[in-house]
Every structure is written in C-alpha cells, then in structure tokens.
Amino acid sequence: MAEVKDIAVPDIGDFKGVEVIEIMVSPGDTISVEDPLVSLESDKAAMEIPSPEAGVVKTVKVSKGDKVSQGDILITMEVSAAAPTAEAPAADAAPLPKTPEPAPAPPPERSTEAARPAASAHRPPPVVAGPVDENGFRKAHASPSVRKFARELGADLGRIDGSGPKRRILKEDVRAFIKKALSSGGSGLDVAPMPEIDFSQFGPIEIRPLTKINRLTGQFLHRNWVTVPHVTQFDEADVTELEQFRKSLNAEHKNDGLRVTILAFLIKALVSALKEFPRFNASLDTTGENLVLKKYIHIGVAVDTPEGLVVPVLRDVDRKSLIEVAKELITVSEKARDRKLTPSDMQGGCITISSLGGIGGTAFTPIVNAPEVAILGVSRAQMKPVYITNGDGSGEFVPRLILPLSLSYDHRVIDGADGARFTAFLNKVLSDTRRLLL
C-alpha cells in the first residue's frame, strides 16, 4: 500500500536558515533512495539533500531562494511499501570556498606527439581547461563532491555536459573533460570565456542560427587560425597588358557566352608559381616531421554563396588551357551557388585563391586552408600612377592597372624570403602573360 510521507531537512549540523539554491525534483518524478532532492548553500558550505526514500514526488514544498533549517518539509512523497528506505542519509556537503581559487594552469605538454607542431595543425581546436567562469560553475548541475573534485582539477563545470540523470555532471564527466583538454595539447588557450550578454537590453534583436556551412567553415577557420603561424605577404602586380588581352579574349567569345575574369589568369599564374616553388605545393604530414610534396596541381577557389563560403577544387589545372579554366570557373561557381557541390568536389586542393576583386578592397589577410600551406588573396585592380624610368635617369608617371595580392602562408613551411619571392614571381608572370605559356 502506498503511503504519502513528508521528507524534511535532515540534521545539517549547526546550519540554520540555509538558502535553497536548486530544486532537482518535480511532482510526478520517480526517485530512488539517495537521489538528490535540493541543493542548499550557506556562506560556508554547499550541500545536497538526498532522498531517504524511494517513490514518487507528490508536492514540492519549497522554492528557490527559500531559507530552510532542520525539520522543514521539502517535499511529500508517495512511498511504496516495498521500497527500500535508507537510514536518514546525511546531507552531502562540500565546503564552498568564499573566494574561489584560480584554476591551475594546465600541465605542460609531455607527449612527443603533442609537442609536434604539425600534429596540432591536424587536431581539432584545443579544449580550454581554465580559467573558470564562476557564474557558470555555480549554476552547473553537480553534487558538492563533484564540485570539489572539479575545483581540485581546475575544470570549469559550466563547460561540461553532464551524462548523469537530468544531465547531472558526474566525476567521470569531469575526468573526460580534463583528459580531452590534456590530449588536445594541454596548451589550452588561457583566455577568459566570452561573457553571456543579453543584447536585448540595449535594443531590439533577432536570433538567426548559423547555417550548416557557416558552422563547419567556422570550425575549420578557427582550427587553422590558432594552429597555423600565419604571415601575409602583400604585393602589387601590373596587369595592364593582361587586362587588354582579357578584354580582347572576351570580345572574341562574346557570342558563346564565355567570360574570362582575372581569376582564370591567376589560376594559370599559380600553376607556374607552384612549379617554380614546390614547397608551396606541399603539406606537413601528421607527425610534423615530413613535407608531402604533391606532383599534381589542384587549386581551390573560395566561392561566396548565400549559405556561406565554400571552396570547390579545380583539378589538374596544369593540364587545362586558360579558356578551359575560365569555363570551369563558371560551372563550378554556379554549382556552388545552387548547392550542388559534393564533398569530393571540395577535396584535394593544393593551394586556395580567395578573390574579392569583384567586390573591392585594397588588401586583406586570408586564413590558410590547412593542410594546404598557402592561400592567395586577391583584391580589386585599380588604375594607379606608376613611375617608369627610361634608363637615362629620366622618367614619368604612367597610368597602370595594379592588382593587389595578399599571400598568407604557413611560416613553419615557408620562410619570409620565399613568400616574397613567390609573389614577385607571380607579378612577373601576370605582367607578361606570355610567361603563362612557359
């Protein structure tokens, strides 16, 4: 026969008028002996009140913020006759440091694997073990003993997903969190967590979820940004003659709908540059001790679509003519915008071009598309006065079409001098299109 019992605050020592900070049960919940009912917190300790009975919660008699003492009724519970009864378990209390101790710095890297720079380029973004966000830590759903354990290890409970009942954080979850932080290099970026801000307090807002492409791109960019030491080399190419040639080509093809943009020339110029500088057509292997030099030339092109940024790869561009490349650029960017690219269309790139020339800008710092080791950013070509010397000491300003280039590269693989040589070579090829034939 079921019996309804009052469950009261047990003996909690000298504490009186202790605040209820969390209620872990609701009417209708079936609970077992020792399941936590409420969390209490005084200025000296946090404690959980476990259930002395198994059964079904009928009513909850307290609210968050109430002050309770020994003997105050917390809940009423329908206890089944057969249900086991614990001998009034004591509150599971853990001291609550008044001034939270700072999280210890993560231990230094020990494994050789973790110490290898290249390996990190292929790992997911590091998990940060500290510092602890006190607000999140306080709100986390965990028992005092788990809180204490997390404090000892410097784990931020606010950032741990609980695998226990009602997503309660267990000791195993804390252990797994720390393990992940250590295996990600142990070097966690020691930055303060981003504060949670309610922007609606400043004015009207709208929440719009990121697209799947946004989220995936964000993960890759973040990983590459933090694991690849970037340098960006800026340069300017004189494309005056190239532009004249491009216009004449487009005039020839005006009836067949072909449009050749500077991008097709840039792809062909990159083919020559990669042949001249094979280190740019390489990737670090996962040990970080070897360069994988590629004997093929596939070039990725960043395409801006309403869903986000995608990078289809044009294959074997060294074996294609300028016109073939121009045609493929049209089909591939249409495919990207129609969301018809398959994962294999976006794999195997040796280097990427990010062209913002159709939009504007004078320079930017693109993020290397690792495991590639370089990315060429292209801004808008502009007419500029260039001083041309005649060889006899005299000279004059001449209007020339100047194309700004921004080459970001992985400094572990490419030295600054080679970065500058690479863009100088590109300039030479772009300013004299005959060189594209070489």
Question: Which residues contribute to the site for ligand CAO (CB under 6 A)?
Answer: 259, 261-263, 301-304, 309, 329, 333, 354-358, 366, 378, 380-381, 403
Is residue 301 within 8 A of residue 352, CB to CB? The reply is yes
**Closer to ligand CAO by Cβ: residue 322 or 378:** 378
Residue 118: burial class (beta carbons within 10 Å; 0-12, 13-18, 19+): buried
DSSP H helical ranges for 184-261? 212-227, 240-252
Strand, coil or helix: 200: helix
State how far Cα 324 lies from the chain centre: 36
Residue pair 56/8 in contact (Cβ under 8 Å)? The answer is no
CA distances from 184 to 111, 125, 194, 283 (A): 11, 8, 20, 21
Minimum distance of ligand CAO from residue 401's CB (angstroms) = 8
How many CA atoms does the CB half-sphere of 333 hold within 13 Å?
A: 16
**Residue 404 CB, nearest approach to ligand CAO (Å):** 8
Residue with smaller CB distance to ligand CAO, 100 or 218: 218
Residue 386 is given by DSSP the state: E
Region of 308 please: left (phi>0), alpha (psi -120 to 50) or beta: left
416 near 231, Cβ under 8 Å?
yes
What DSSP letter does each residue of 11-39 carry, written as one string? --TT--SEEEEEE---TT-EE-TT-EEEE
CB of 171 to ligand CAO, least distance (A): 42
Q: Decide whether 57 or 356 has the Cβ nearer to ligand CAO.
A: 356
Q: Quick one: 32 or 333, whose CB is closer to ligand CAO?
A: 333
Q: How many Å apart are CA 73 and CA 37, to the nearest integer? A: 12
CB of 149 to ligand CAO, least distance (A): 42
Give Cα 243 to chain centroid, integer Å: 39
Separation between Cα atoms, residue 241 and residue 431, nearest integer Å? 7
Helical H segments across 11-133, by residue range: 112-115, 117-121
For residue 381, give both structure tokens: 């070509």
| Min separation Cβ 332 and ligand CAO, Å | 8
Residue 329 or 414: which CB sits closer to ligand CAO? 329
DSSP β-bridge partners for residue 261:
none
What phi and psi, each to the nearest 5 degrees, are found at residue 129?
-85, -30
Q: Which is nearer to ligand CAO, 79 or 301 (CB)?
A: 301
The type of residue at 356 is L
Does an H or E element contain 314, and which?
Answer: strand 313-314
Give the residue closest to ligand CAO by C-beta.
357
Q: Within 10 A of 53 (CB to CB), how many other CB atoms are there? A: 21
Mention every residue, 6+ apart, whose C-beta is less than 8 A from residue 32: 51, 54
Q: Identify whether 411 is a catalytic site residue.
A: yes
The token pair that represents 352 in the structure block: 């990427």
- If the CB atoms of residues 359 and 438 are measured against ligand CAO, the closer one turns out to be 359
Closer residue to ligand CAO (CB): 44 or 384: 384
122: left (phi over 0), alpha (psi -120 to 50) or beta: alpha
> Shortest Cβ distance from residue 259 to ligand CAO (Å)?
6
Q: Which is nearer to ligand CAO, 140 or 374 (CB)?
A: 374
Q: What backbone phi and psi angles, to 5 degrees, belong to 414? A: -120, 130
**Residue 406 Cβ, how far from ligand CAO at the closest point, in Å?**
11
Q: Residue 231 corresponds to which tokens in the numbers above?
A: 């340098």
Q: What is the smallest separation between the CB atom of 235 and ligand CAO, expressed in angstroms? A: 13
In whole angstroms, how close is the CB of 395 to ligand CAO at the nearest point?
26
Pick the catalytic residue: 122, 253, 298, 411? Answer: 411
Active site residues: 411
